[in-house]
């Protein structure tokens, strides 16, 4: 009974802290603009099964991709066991889902094997990040804090798996005449050492469940928030062709007013900002992309602008969006402003104009973030609000305005080449 009460207290504290984090993020989402409508649910489910659950994009790097996919699939299986532990803790029961029989055996056996695999892979990921000079793990946006965050998350994951194995080994030792489920790795370890691991069951259970609670509340402030958001982000991805850029509704409305003399102009309508200057101009999907970003660097790794030494790093764009929202969101909640903006204070014009809109970053991103869409909206602000563009583009704009074409020839001279 004491264990049950202590568990419920820990659960309520966890849910309370998590609710605070969700409420904080929801207040930030309310600052953003609407995005595209969510349609084609069937196509979205199929896309999610393929990209999120199937991890198809991650396999473009076969070896490390397989390791990451196994960690992801392992977490899905182990989550089922974690749900059982929560139900056990609330009800005071033990192995409450064991009635599912063969299904329970498969889940428990898979979780036991995956726990060992994840420990091995996490150790490799840690060595790779700390000692192997992987280019995509570097960059101005990959600060010491970001790298420390990655290492802390890896330690969390490793300890979660170790505590699960300890709990399983203790459970096996305490039930020599038979137990619920199948645990190939834990049983092999118990038999290998021949010791009584029964004392590990209770500490293993508490350490595992408290690590889950702590990790769940750490994630919203970590780059590993994609643990929660990657699957929803893929489901909500834009299913249009990646090279199709949406029109600005504010521009469409202005053009219609100019073309239709009888159109009624609403003097009370809020004057729209063309494009994106700061985080209140981005869409909710842009902000969700920034929270979902795994900061894996695959986008920057394939960016031709970055490869040729230009400032642009697609990953940095969304890292900066999240940083700026973390800075401005609390101020906006208090009705305050600051003198900064996403444009220039975080993202420079040089970065934006370096983008070739080739969409290699979108193609490579394992969770379907669309970097060029946001970059294009920030360019739109520069051109339409500030008339700020590279000289070559300004020349082209002038020629289109005067000659109806990008070239500096009058329409009457356009066919002279044929002579």
Which residues are registered as beta bridge partners of 343? 347
* Residue 266 CB burial class (10 angstroms; 0-12, 13-18, ≥19): exposed
pLDDT of the residue at 31? 92
pLDDT of the residue at 286? 95
State pLDDT tens for residues 388-413: 888 888 888 888 888 888 888 777 77
pTM: 0.88
State pLDDT tens for residues 347-391: 999 999 999 999 999 999 999 999 999 999 999 999 988 888 888
The alpha carbons of the chain give a radius of gyration, in whole angstroms, of: 27
pLDDT of the residue at 406? 84
Residue that has been written with the tokens 């198809």 in this structure? 56
Q: Which residue has the higher pLDDT, 401 or 161?
A: 161
DSSP 343-356: HHHTB-HHHHHH--
Which domains are seen in the chain, by residue range?
A: 2-24+53-224 (no CATH), 249-403 (1.10.1060.10)
pLDDT at 415 over 90: no
Find, among 288, 241, 234, the residue nearest to 48 by Cα: 234
Of the listed ranges 7-16, 237-246, 313-322, the one predicted with least confidence: 237-246
State pLDDT tens for residues 243-297: 888 887 777 777 777 777 676 666 666 667 788 999 999 999 999 999 999 898 8
Residue that has been written with the tokens 């030792």 in this structure? 173
How far is Cα 230 from Cα 227, in angstroms, rounded to an integer? 6
How far is Cα 265 from Cα 255, in angstroms, rounded to an integer? 12
What's the Cα-to-Cα distance from 311 to each of 14, 128, 273, 316, rounded to whole Å? 41, 25, 26, 10
Please give the helix or strand (H or E) that residue 122 lies within, else none: helix 102-131
pLDDT of the residue at 27? 93
pLDDT at 127 over 90: no
């Amino acid at each position: 009974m004491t264990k049950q009460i202590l568990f419920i207290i820990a659960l309520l504290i966890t849910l309370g802290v998590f609710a605070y984090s969700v409420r904080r993020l929801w207040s930030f989402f309310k600052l953003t603009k609407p995005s595209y409508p969510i349609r084609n649910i069937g196509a979205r489910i199929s896309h999610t099964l393929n990209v999120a659950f199937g991890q198809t994009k991650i396999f473009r790097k076969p070896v490390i991709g397989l390791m990451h996919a196994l960690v992801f699939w392992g977490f899905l299986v182990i989550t089922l066991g974690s749900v059982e532990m929560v139900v056990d803790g609330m009800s005071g029961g033990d192995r409450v889902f064991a009635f599912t029989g063969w299904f329970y055996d498969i889940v428990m056996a898979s979780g036991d094997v995956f726990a060992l695999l994840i420990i091995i892979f996490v150790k490799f990921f840690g060595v790779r990040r700390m000692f192997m000079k992987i280019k995509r793990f570097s960059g101005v946006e990959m600060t010491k804090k970001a790298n420390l965050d990655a290492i802390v998350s890896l330690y969390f994951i490793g300890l979660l798996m170790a505590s699960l194995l300890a709990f399983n080994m203790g459970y096996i030792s305490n039930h020599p005449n038979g137990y619920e489920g199948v645990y190939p790795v834990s049983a092999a370890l118990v038999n290998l050492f021949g010791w009584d691991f029964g004392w590990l069951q209770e500490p293993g259970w508490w350490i595992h469940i408290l690590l889950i609670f702590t990790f769940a509340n750490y994630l919203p402030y970590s780059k590993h928030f994609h643990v929660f958001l990657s699957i929803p982000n893929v489901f909500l991805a834009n299913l249009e062709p990646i090279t199709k850029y949406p029109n600005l509704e504010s521009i469409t409305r202005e053009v219609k007013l100019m073309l239709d003399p009888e159109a009624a102009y609403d003097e009370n309508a809020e004057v729209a900002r063309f494009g994106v200057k700061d985080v209140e101009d981005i869409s909710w999907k842009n902000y969700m992309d920034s929270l979902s970003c795994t900061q894996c660097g695959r986008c920057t790794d394939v960016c031709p602008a970055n490869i040729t030494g230009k400032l642009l790093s697609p990953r940095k764009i969304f890292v900066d969006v999240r940083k700026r929202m973390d800075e401005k969101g609390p101020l906006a909640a208090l009705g305050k402003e600051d003198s900064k903006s996403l444009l220039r204070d975080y993202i420079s014009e040089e970065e934006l104009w370096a983008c070739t809109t080739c969409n290699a970053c979108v193609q490579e991103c394992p969770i379907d973030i669309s970097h060029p869409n946001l970059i294009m909206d920030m360019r739109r602000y520069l051109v339409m609000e500030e008339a700020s563009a590279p000289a070559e583009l300004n020349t082209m704009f002038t020629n289109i305005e005067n000659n109806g074409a990008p070239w500096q020839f009058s329409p009457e001279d356009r066919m002279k080449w044929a002579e």
